[in-house]
Amino acid sequence: MARSATVSQRRRSSTHESFLRHKGFLFLKVAVFVCVAAVAAYFFQHARPRPGGGTPLGYFLGTVGAGLIVWLALLGVRKRAVSSGHYSLKAWVSAHVYLGLSLIVIATLHTGFQFGWNVHTLAYGLMLLVIASGAIGVWAYVALPARLSENRGETTRKQMLAQIQSLDELIHEAAQGFPRDTAAIVRISLEQTDIGGGFWRRLFEDYRDCANLRALREIEAAQRTAGAHEAKALGEVAVLMRRKGDALGLARRQMHITALLEAWLFVHVPATFALLAALTVHIVSVFAYW
């Protein structure tokens, strides 16, 4: 059993890594070649008065950079048109990652290392933000699937939720015959517990105000002042609530990792739109002031 889990885990993480290794690192090689060619051209040019966006090489690198950015942004459209033909999505993502990284060299050489507080440098900064968030995305795709299966073990998502539901039923049964005030505390756990919650809650895994935990604390407090018979009944409910807490912890961890898998896209995609806008202003303005 343990062996088959390891094999399936390895298979799963290799699928996620495969876009990096696609066709023997073909796009990494293409990107390195493009960068070396750009650096060589930069140092062999005779730019007067100094290298920058306005020189022939500057215009060339700027045009290649802008073309790449538009193409990289089209991945959003490509992702939604599923096909497994020659230009598979895996190839697109592989090229996206490596050619996207090569932009650091292409765009920096285009600027001739001239930066200032202007829209040109804003476009450059946004590009770096998109690239950095993309790198975090790659880390997430490579590292998190293994964490998801580690946390889940042999349990499926459906089983996790079913376990919480059956613990709720046991708590409900165990609390039959409780006086009105303690029954009200039990209802806090049964009716107000939020398994996942909103995106930010899942992302930061912040469940300090968990209703089940609050109810458990109050049941424990009531147990300390109750008589022997009542304390025993309260103790049974407390045990079930602790088990529910453990099951909730597992499900929430799973949702936290899934949220991490999406979080970087909340930077990557809006920053792409901002970059396209700033780049348009940059290009229009350099031609307007020409």
> Using CA atoms, how far apart are residues 182 and 195, in angstroms rounded to an integer?
23
Structural tokens at position 84: 């497994």
| Interaction of residue 114 with ligand HEM, rule CB under 6 A | yes
Q: Pick from 38, 57, 93, 215: which binds ligand HEM (CB under 6 A)?
A: 93
| Interaction of residue 145 with ligand HEM, rule CB under 6 A | no
Query: To 5 degrees, how large is the angle CA 59–CA 64–CA 68?
Result: 145
- Site mask for ligand HEM (CB under 6 A), range 53-72, x = bound: xx----x--xx-xx--x--x
**What CA–CA distances, in Å, run from 278 to 54, 158, 285?**
18, 45, 10
Who's near 182: CB < 8 A, 6+ residues apart? 175, 219, 222, 234
| Interaction of residue 170 with ligand HEM, rule CB under 6 A | no
Closest approach, Cβ 65 to ligand HEM, in A, equals 3
- Site mask for ligand HEM (CB under 6 A), range 219-258, x = bound: ----------------------------------------
> Using CA atoms, how far apart are residues 271 and 261, in angstroms rounded to an integer?
17
| Interaction of residue 270 with ligand HEM, rule CB under 6 A | no
Considering only the stretches 32-40, 111-119, 155-163, 175-183, report the one whose residues sit in contact with ligand HEM under the rule CB under 6 A. 111-119
| Interaction of residue 265 with ligand HEM, rule CB under 6 A | yes
Closest approach, Cβ 203 to ligand HEM, in A, equals 17
Considering only the stretches 43-51, 110-118, 155-163, 196-204, report the one whose residues sit in contact with ligand HEM under the rule CB under 6 A. 110-118
Q: Pick from 79, 157, 217, 232: which binds ligand HEM (CB under 6 A)?
A: 79
> Which among 38, 208, 214, 204 has a CA at the least distance from the CA of 112?
38
| Interaction of residue 127 with ligand HEM, rule CB under 6 A | yes
Who's near 272: CB < 8 A, 6+ residues apart? 72, 73, 76, 130
**What CA–CA distances, in Å, run from 170 to 13, 157, 216, 229, 236?**
38, 20, 15, 19, 10
Closest approach, Cβ 223 to ligand HEM, in A, equals 50
How many helices (H) and strands (E) the chain has is answered by: 11, 0
- Are 126 and 57 a contacting pair, CB within 8 Å? no
Distance of CA 116 to the CA centre of its chain: 32
| Interaction of residue 160 with ligand HEM, rule CB under 6 A | no
Contact positions vs ligand HEM (CB under 6 A): 52-54, 59, 62-63, 65-66, 69, 72-73, 75-76, 79, 93, 96-97, 100-101, 103, 107, 110-111, 114-116, 118, 120-121, 123-124, 127, 130-131, 134-135, 137-138, 141, 265, 268-269, 272, 279, 282-283, 286
